[in-house]
């Protein structure tokens, strides 16, 4: 949203507005991508043009409210309010309410094909689980609330700021409001545990059984909701089971094993806008199945689905990245499919670690394709959220890590 200073032909006016109406105005203006001052201007213009005065608005507890309007509009408004024997506070409240009524919240834009985001890297400890959870939470946040989001266009310049490239400008934007399924595809069950759920029992049903062609029930019955007001029932988790340690062995006996994950999850896709796969640190058959699941389908635009590679700003991540890219390229060539790279998320960054960190970050930025789409700092809030078994974006919604997760979600959405 444009936050540039008001042009010289506008004048500052001060009145009062009830807090709920002011908040609704801020949210709706953000949802529609317009400035608050333009919304108020349009509301006043429409109110002055009405043939009759609308119903009164409750202005109890109205507090100071200032905006910038075209020269002369406020005086015209004062005259009309006087003619209608309406106070300026009541007239302004009616004008804002009129704008809200005539500018409803836009519908959530839902993808024609369920997007599949495969979060991967064969190196352990880079924070794939944190990125999976944080991105999914950001995609599912309440579209009727505003959240701080890092200005994404600054990411490309972040590496040049060696002091603190994570502390960038933020803006308040509405939640994306998408229906999201997080799939814990790792036998270590980190995503399941972090979000406060229990791993599935070894003697029960699991995603592994469905992929191996030996289901014991409906996969939907295993899904749990990540309950939080910010997500409004839109964020769900398919927990992991330790039996996934045996997945590669079991897949070796399955026909068309690359499509095993797709066959298992296909019945769930109509329930979700986005499915994120938290992959294990592996280059085995399970990774082939995950990468295949993220391939570009017929009729799907490039960059809607694909792989999100999580790395750290250090040398071993670069070696693991090369191995993963080779595996994906081999799969592309062998099966003649398109697997898009959604980008690189640099996680656990701390520029205070010196040249290794800063030069490695610059190396990731220099790759260009895939480009860096997220930069997440190594801060305490994520560790605390894991300890509390709570979603990061609920536990610390204004933390730098949460702000960065929202920017990452928007970069790949």
Cα distances (angstroms) measured from residue 89 to each of 56, 390, 411? 11, 42, 41
CATH 1.10.1220 domain range(s) in the chain: 10-102
Pick from 246-250, 270-274, 347-351 the range whose average pLDDT is largest: 270-274
For the ranges 17-21, 92-96, 271-275, 311-315, the lowest mean pLDDT is seen at 311-315
Q: Mean of the pLDDT values across residues 154-174?
A: 62
Nearest to 175 by CA among 226, 234, 230, 134: 230
Give pLDDT, residue 9: 81
Residue 413 pLDDT grade (very low, low, confident, very high; cuts 50, 70, 90): confident
Q: Mean of the pLDDT values across residues 259-265?
A: 97
Give pLDDT, residue 36: 96
Backbone angles phi, psi at 400, to 5 degrees: -60, -35
Angle at the Cα of 107 (from 103 to 113), degrees rounded to 5? 160
Query: Is 10-102 assigned to CATH 1.10.3470?
Result: no
Residue 6 above 80 pLDDT? no
Token pair 């949802």 is found at 31
The CATH number of the domain covering residues in 115-411: 3.40.50.300
Q: How large is the C-alpha radius of gyration of the chain?
A: 25
CA–CA separation, 249 vs 233, rounded Å?
A: 36
Residue 257 pLDDT grade (very low, low, confident, very high; cuts 50, 70, 90): very high
Give pLDDT, residue 168: 63
Is the model more confident about 213 or about 1? 213
Is the model more confident about 360 or about 4? 360
Helix or strand run (H / E) with residue 276: strand 274-278
CATH 3.40.50.300 domain range(s) in the chain: 115-411
Give pLDDT, residue 2: 43
Give pLDDT, residue 162: 45
Q: Mean of the pLDDT values across residues 120-124?
A: 88
Q: What is the mean pLDDT of the chain?
A: 91
Residue 3 pLDDT grade (very low, low, confident, very high; cuts 50, 70, 90): very low
Q: Which residues pair with 10 in a beta bridge?
A: 70
């Amino acid at each position: 949203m444009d936050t540039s200073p008001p042009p010289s032909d506008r004048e500052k006016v001060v009145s009062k507005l009830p807090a709920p109406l002011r908040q609704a105005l801020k949210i709706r203006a953000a949802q529609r991508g317009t400035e608050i001052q333009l919304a108020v201007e349009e509301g006043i213009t429409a109110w002055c043009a009405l043939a009759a005065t609308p119903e009164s608005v409750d202005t109890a507890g109205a507090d100071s409210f200032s905006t910038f309007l075209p020269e002369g509009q406020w005086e015209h408004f004062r005259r009309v309010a006087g003619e209608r024997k309406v106070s300026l506070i009541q007239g302004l409240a009616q004008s804002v309410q009129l704008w809200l009524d005539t500018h409803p919240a836009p519908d959530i834009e839902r993808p024609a094909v369920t997007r599949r985001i495969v979060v991967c890297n064969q190196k352990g400890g880079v924070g794939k689980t944190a990125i999976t959870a944080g991105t999914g939470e950001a995609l599912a946040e309440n579209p009727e609330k505003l959240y701080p989001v890092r200005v994404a266009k600054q990411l490309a310049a972040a590496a040049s700021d060696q002091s603190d490239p994570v502390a960038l400008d933020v803006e308040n934007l509405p939640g994306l409001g998408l229906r999201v399924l997080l799939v814990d595809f790792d036998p270590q069950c980190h995503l399941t545990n972090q979000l406060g759920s229990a791993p599935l029992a070894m003697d029960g049903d699991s995603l592994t059984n469905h992929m191996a062609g030996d289901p014991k029930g409906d996969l939907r019955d295993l899904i749990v909701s990540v309950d939080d007001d910010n997500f409004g029932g839109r964020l769900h988790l398919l927990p992991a089971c330790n039996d996934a340690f045996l997945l590669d062995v079991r897949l070796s006996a399955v026909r068309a094993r690359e499509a095993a994950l797709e066959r298992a999850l296909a019945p769930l896709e109509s329930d979700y806008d986005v499915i994120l796969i938290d992959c294990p640190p592996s280059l085995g058959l399970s990774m082939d199945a995950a990468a295949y699941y993220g391939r570009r389908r017929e009729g799907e635009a490039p960059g809607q689905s694909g792989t999100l590679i999580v790395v750290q700003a250090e040398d071993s991540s670069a070696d693991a990245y090369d191995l993963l890219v080779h595996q994906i390229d081999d799969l592309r060539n062998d099966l003649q499919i398109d697997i898009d790279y959604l980008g690189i998320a640099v996680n656990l960054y701390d520029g205070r670690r010196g040249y290794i960190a800063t030069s490695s970050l610059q190396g990731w930025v220099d790759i260009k394709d895939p480009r860096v789409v997220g930069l997440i700092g190594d801060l305490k809030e994520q560790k605390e959220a894991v300890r509390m078994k709570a979603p990061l974006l609920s536990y610390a919604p204004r933390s730098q890590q949460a702000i960065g997760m929202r920017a990452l979600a928007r970069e790949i959405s």
